[in-house]
Amino acid sequence: MVFDRKYSDEVRRLAVERVLERRRDEPENRSIVREVAEEYEVGPQSLRKWLNRYDDGSYDYDDESDDHTPEAVDSPAPARYRGANRTELLARISELEHRVGVLQEDNRSLTRVVALLADELRQATTAHVPTADPAGEHNART
């Protein structure tokens, strides 16, 4: 059984555009979603879901004409990714995740190298320092 949509596409579009506009104009305001939800008489969680879909590119209106799409309002995504299809975005995400993995491995390797160099430096600087004898006497290494 198919359920009826509680909110029209027009209300969804207007609410999402209003949030994006207010985020651009009032970046410090953390209650924008709640305020816009009250303004359009929609559930705040529904509005968050619409915004998440807009952000991940899976925003789906029944009417996709140019003048009814949220792209008319400034998007947080770089311009080169606006209008990209889901497959392109997923491919880019996969590429970036791979690059992050390589960089994390490089970082771990560099951390190990720094630890080894620090240990060698510590050994080199303490080679001629007198050490305590178990009997309590100090002996100088020569």
CA distance 77 to 71: 10
| Domain map (residue ranges) of the chain | 9-77, 90-130
State pLDDT tens for residues 33-61.
Answer: 999 999 999 999 999 999 888 887 766 65
| Residue-averaged pLDDT of the chain | 78
> May I ask the CATH architecture of the domain 9-77?
Orthogonal Bundle (1.10)
The two tokens of residue 136 are 């309590």
Buried b (16+ CB within 10 A) or exposed e, 19-34: bbebbeeeeeeeebbe
pLDDT of residue 102: 95
Residue 82 or 103, more confident: 103
At 141, is the pLDDT very low, low, confident or very high (cuts 50, 70, 90)? low
pLDDT at 62 exceeding the cut of 50: no
Q: Which helix (H) or strand (E) holds 97?
A: helix 86-125
